[in-house]
Chains A and B, each alone.
Chain A
Amino acid sequence: MNGAHDMGGMDGFGPINPEPDEPVFHGEWEKRVFAMTVATGFLGHWNIDMGRQAREQVDPAEYLRSSYYEKWLQGLETLLVEKGLITAEELAARKAEMAGGAP
């Protein structure tokens, strides 16, 4: 399936900009998203192709705007909800609770 992710050969994305002495992760949240994605992958509810498809099904503008681990987070949330392991409502409620405000 083509889409915004199928970008081989496209023009206009600008320079590559390698980062000197780049760390493996940029910030704590990236570490958590990486580890949660790999760990939940071991549960066996989806395979690597389903994982990628979950990242690719977001709106194309959103796909292009998001950083790599934002795409992973979005994909992980999508899979967890699709497989019934969590609900979107639970997640929203937990987020509101942790933000310190009322849900």
Chain B
Amino acid sequence: MPSEHSHDHDHSEVPSDLALRVKALESLLVEKGLVDPAALEILIDTYETKVGPRNGAKVVAHAWSDPDYKARLLADGSKAIAEFGFDGRQGKDIVVVENTEQVHNMVVCTLCSCYPWPVLGLPPVWYKASPYRARAVRDPVGVLKDFGVTLPEDVEIRVWDSTAELRYLVLPQRPAGTEGLSEADLAELVTRDSMIGTGLAKQPGAGGTP
């Protein structure tokens, strides 16, 4: 199979069957006017560089800093999140669940990959893969252990199964010793996994985790 075809992307290896299938489909859709190549680039750029867990971290840090905002966020997640201008695809109905000393929340989509895109971006591979989807609802304690999280035994774990209509964002516990921090510094402590519930917010001065 010679690779004489021309395209915009810089790779010289012979395309795999899958890459070829994708290219053929795109070529056909563009030719028929069903997709606009410029629109595809915008979509890719948006989800690679603009919409991601930094959005959610801002929401969480604001909720930690402003009790009124936190109350609005827990009462109507989508509406309070929209105050930041974060809305759109796969985020029409977002419910925010709060972690406390007594309750730890964890989110899964057992059927597929539903996820609150406006605040977390696209989900990581493990979230969409069979092992997490299967085990999160049966053995959340074991799953948390795989992520390096061990909770006190008296903490109740609630697992939320997302659907296309209803997606969840975990409001992690604010770490101790962060009283004087600005919202921007607090946001740095909020990891993606802490908003899925497979992690905790970082302690100030700790290293980087997802």
Residues of A whose CB lies within 8 Å of any CB of B are 5-11, 13-22, 24-29, 31-36, 38-40, 43, 48-49, 52, 55-56, 64, 68, 70, 73, 76-77, 80, 85-86, 90-91, 94-95, 97-101
Taking the closest CB of chain B, its distance from the CB of A72, in whole angstroms, is 10
Inter-chain CA distance A17–B26, complex, in Å, is 32
Residues of B whose CB lies within 8 Å of any CB of A are 1-5, 9, 11, 18-29, 32, 34-36, 39-41, 43-44, 47-48, 52, 89, 108, 110-113, 121-122, 124-126, 128-138, 143, 146-147, 161, 164, 193, 210
> With A10-B134, A38-B43 in contact, is A26–B164 under 8 Å at CB?
no
Taking the closest CB of chain A, its distance from the CB of B196, in whole angstroms, is 11
> With A28-B19, A100-B1 in contact, is A35–B40 under 8 Å at CB?
yes
Inter-chain CA distance A47–B26, complex, in Å, is 20
> With A11-B138, A26-B125, A76-B25 in contact, is A38–B146 under 8 Å at CB?
no
Instruction: Decide if A32 touches B22 in the complex (CB within 8 Å).
Output: yes
Taking the closest CB of chain A, its distance from the CB of B72, in whole angstroms, is 27
Instruction: Decide if B128 touches A18 in the complex (CB within 8 Å).
Output: no
Taking the closest CB of chain A, its distance from the CB of B105, in whole angstroms, is 17
Instruction: Decide if B24 touches A91 in the complex (CB within 8 Å).
Output: yes
> With A17-B131, A36-B40 in contact, is A6–B110 under 8 Å at CB?
yes
Across-interface contacts of B5 in A (CB, < 8 A): 98, 100
Among A19, A73, A101, contact of B22 (Cβ-Cβ < 8 Å): A73
Instruction: Decide if B125 touches A9 in the complex (CB within 8 Å).
Output: no
Instruction: Decide if A8 touches B134 in the complex (CB within 8 Å).
Output: yes
